[in-house]
Structure 1
């Protein structure tokens, strides 16, 4: 497994999940691996009675995670909704890993996702040779999750066409999946539920029908509330990336991560952190996920083309790539930010020089 680029959550955190199961003292819903309380501990982190430390997977409002996990213990599905980069997919994966011990029953939503990706498909060679039969049926992740009482995940639900989305209505309301070609149906086993994610930047693309919305409990995942919170998220995710990729670079100084996060937060908000200077915001989202990518890219540059210590020259290309999505409008926004904010900060002079060299 050491050669796997990215392990599934249940593989990467096997020891934590095992310890939580060993220390379990709360009622466990049928076909769940852990109690709802332990699932939230897995997500938020904490110390167990035996002293074992659980690392936080989500840094933010604990109540949001409690609501999300409690929803899955009811007959309603869970919709994680928010801006790009607010850890919707990350949270979805870790909840599924803790609840079901398997986070791999995933449907990736796109404009081309059809009904067969959610309901079932057919092996057409078998279908032509023998007609509709159980052996010709191709099960989807949703169908397998129903059979086994697991969590199914649907990523980017609002990217899927409205007519395809509505195939979920019977699954979520009746907990059955009819297979009329075989005159049969799949009935969901206890423990089955669905976690979907949706991006509010896609609002208006394929809106959920009112009938489908009623089948979901929506939890909105916000951007990190504070600079310290967002910096810690970036630091912890970068540390995981560095371990997985085995980059020949030193762990970045917290001050460098803090600078990137500050830039992103100020440009997102349209005002400096001291509320003294109003700013124009770029067209992109400047999410936490993009901040993580900027640091990771900088570490690769410093490790392979520098001295292994992350510096302003390593970071600036990634920052420019994240901020300047529109070469005309965003370039003006960035230049104004450089001159009115970055240039004025004494401890950011290196960042200003590196940025000027890249323009």
Structure 2
């Protein structure tokens, strides 16, 4: 299975009071596409869904560059059914790089109101995919809990407004629902990021919620709100990082409530290089600078990441893998840094000559000893390609001393 991360989209600050960066959620960034798809595909929808399952997959995977067309006035579906202001034809952008079959399985899982667990290494677009699916299904990706070792059961179920609790006693108005409970009672999609970072007893707060589709509020015993039931459309998407330290094992009972989908790295060099180019260019151009990293540098960058990640070069040479995750997201970050350096220090910053130092910074994140593994990659793959006459790799080989500092 293949996937890739897409860098977060940010709004450009418009004044001195503007925030440094504002993340634009997919339901806002792609509002026109969502409205268009809702009008374009009028097939059967699962209860509570904004789009049909087919349209939800199209929203995530795009329309393969082909424009979709809304019905013209006088056709079987009246033009009055189409919201004003929508274009008549629209190409749906591909937002997730991966197998369409994987996305289809995810959508079918959600249509069956079953929990969906996206697992994989860091930087493989698990969070991105969960956001896109939530936006397609219910129109919002904001009902989210970030799992940590400090996450409590209240953050997955409910808490209390203690001022109202003291003044009125236990009541529905004093209850403060979690994002998960809000999704349950409104028929939306809840998201739990890094669920395995939560303690096992906290994770298991979701077992009855996913199986019985209700939450008991014992403080309201005897009242009509003592049991809060799920509205049609409610489901939950969780993500789990397989490489992080401090991960808590999920109980068998909770695992049975989820369908698991594994998100892996991109398998095609050209596809990954294009994604890194597109996302790093966008990040640099958001600052108002010109993007100055050429294709040869990007190809070398992505090649190094892929080979260190996989433990083997394109020629079949063995490579000792560093313990850190050489993800596509990290490659985008490095390419962005190279682009910013080229923009702000154009006279003395050749992006290719900066690459070894950035790679060293990446591999040292988890284990300083990984620097030796990167040096081994230089003494093996980089040296052999330099000796074969590859100009770019020859330049990198000449910079070997940077890795010894």
Question: Which TM-score tier does this pair reach, normalised by the shorter chain?
Answer: over 0.9
Distance 1:251 1:138 in 2: 50
Matched, 1:176 2:217: no
**Does the 8 Å CA contact 1:283/1:325 hold for their aligned counterparts?**
no
Counterpart pick for 2:304 among 243, 246, 263: 263
SS of the residue 1:138 aligns to: strand
Pairing of 1:132-147 with structure 2 (within 5 A): 132-147=170-185
Deviation at 1:269, TM superposition (A): 1.7
Q: Match of 2:68?
A: 49
SS of the residue 1:265 aligns to: helix
Distance 2:236 2:348 in 1: 43
Query: Structure 1 residues 238, 125: CA separation in 2 closer, same or farther (over 3 Å shift)?
Result: same
Q: Hey, which bits of structure 1, 4+ residues long, moved more than 4 A?
A: 307-310
TM-score, normalised to structure 2, is 0.82
Q: Match of 1:35?
A: 52
Matched, 1:130 2:168: yes
TM-score, normalised to structure 1, is 0.92
Q: Match of 2:287?
A: 246
Matched, 1:341 2:381: yes
Query: Structure 1 residues 49, 327: CA separation in 2 closer, same or farther (over 3 Å shift)?
Result: closer
Distance 1:149 1:308 in 2: 56
SS of the residue 1:201 aligns to: coil
Q: Match of 1:218?
A: 260
Pairing of 1:260-339 with structure 2 (within 5 A): 260-275=301-316, 277-306=317-346, 311-325=351-365, 328-339=368-379
The runs of 5 or more residues in structure 2 that have no matched partner are 1-10, 14-20, 70-88
Q: Match of 1:77?
A: 115
For residues 29-83 of structure 1, what are the alpha-carbon distances to aligned partners after superposition, in whole Å with 9 as ceiling and x for unaligned? 2221111111111111113432521111111111000000110000311000111
SS of the residue 1:49 aligns to: strand
Deviation at 1:161, TM superposition (A): 0.6
SS of the residue 1:306 aligns to: coil
Higher mean Cα deviation, 301-310 or 17-26?
A: 301-310
Q: CA RMSD in A?
A: 2.2
The runs of 5 or more residues in structure 1 that have no matched partner are none
Higher mean Cα deviation, 47-56 or 113-122?
A: 47-56
Matched, 1:153 2:187: no
Q: Match of 1:101?
A: 139
Query: Structure 1 residues 310, 30: CA separation in 2 closer, same or farther (over 3 Å shift)?
Result: farther
Rg larger in structure = 2
**Does the 8 Å CA contact 1:80/1:196 hold for their aligned counterparts?**
yes
For residues 203-229 of structure 1, what are the alpha-carbon distances to aligned partners after superposition, in whole Å with 9 as ceiling and x for unaligned? 883111111111101111111122123
SS of the residue 1:217 aligns to: strand
Distance 2:41 2:282 in 1: 27
Distance 1:240 1:115 in 2: 39
Distance 1:29 1:265 in 2: 40
